[in-house]
Every structure is written in C-alpha cells, then in structure tokens.
Amino acid sequence: MSPQLSLKTIALSGALLSLLVIVMSWLGIDTRTANQVLSVLEHNQPGFYRVTTFVDGDTVEVNMAGKIERIRFIGLDTPEKNHPDKPVQCFAHAASQHLVDLIGLNPVRLEADPTNQNRDRYDRLLRYVYLPDGTLINAKQIEDGYGFAYTAFPFTKIDEFKQLEGDARQANRGLWGQCQIELDGGFISTEAD
C-alpha cells in the first residue's frame, strides 16, 4: 500500500469515525464516551500495530493480534546500545529517544520490501515502518542524523536512504556533528560513548 493510498484510507476512516461520533451523540451517548470509542478505533486501525517496546533506534516490538513480534527497520542502522559484544556507542541513547519521540503513542504500519528477506538471522521481521500520516520512520531517522543507511543487503529505497545520509552528513545533523565516525569492516559506526 502506498503512503498516498494509506493517507486516503486514513482520511476516509477519519470521516467515518466522525460520523460514528455524531450518531452516538444522536443516540444519547455522552461526548466523553463517544470520544473514548473514537480514540480506541483510531488506535486499532486494521494494518496498524501498537509498539509495545522500543528496543533501540532501529528495532521495536509490536503486538500483532496478541503475538509480540520484534521488528528490525529495513535500511537503517543506529548506534548500538544493547549489543552483547560492543560497548554503548555515541548517540545510541539519542537515536533510541528520537525513535520514541517520532512514534509516541501512534500505531505503526509495517511493509516488507520485495527485494529483501522477510526475517533476519535473529528472526526479527524486516520492515519499513510508517506512521499513520505516511511518514517513513526508517528514512526519518537517517534524515535527522540519528542513523546510517544500512546498505549491506539490497532494498528498494537504498538510493533514497544513501541520499538522506549524505544530506545529514553535509549538514552535520545529529550524530554527524557530535560523534567520531568509524569505518569497521565496511560498516559505518560511532565510537564508544
């Protein structure tokens, strides 16, 4: 589903939800109860999932119909804060907090990439993660300077993500202006915090 189609669907469901509130008011249901019903429906849209845990800046857990799934963001790599073999890296906590701030209490829509695999070696689902307004969080983390374009595996948005990384680097946004950047085995990372 494209972001434009998603936005149209959200706008339509918003209109239907508003109509539902009007009908509930007409039936004598108080405004507070109607707004609570509206809030529940808005946060439980089909195809959207509630984030239950923010693991780090590029990994979350979501509730998928009662099953908790760990989601690894396609094409995004943020500084490590939970790696068993690495110390906490510069900007790891900032990247995690930025992700929390971006998502907040919003449900997220997940999208696989046809050129990428479904799961990684740690059994995490590999997905693009969208906000209800169509914002692609994977790209936003890179654009705002909280992560790198992770290009070790193919994905359809690789050129876009590399461009966003280049723009963030040029502007010294986020980690680009505050951390020592290292190249380790072909991978970009930040030094230990």
Distance, CA of 97 to CA of 150 (rounded, Å): 20
Contacts of 121 (CB under 8 A, 6+ apart): none
Selected catalytic residue, list 72, 109, 127, 165: 72
Strand partners, 56: 59
Of residues 80, 127, 143, 165, which has the active-site annotation?
80
Name every residue whose Cβ is closer than 8 Å to that of residue 83 and which is 6 or more positions away in sequence: none
Q: From 102, 22, 20, 16, select the one nearest 58 (Cα to Cα).
A: 102
* Active-site entry in 69, 109, 124, 165: 124
Question: Catalytic annotation on 61?
Answer: no
165 annotated active-site: no
Is 124 designated active site?
yes
Catalytic amino acids?
A: 72, 80, 124
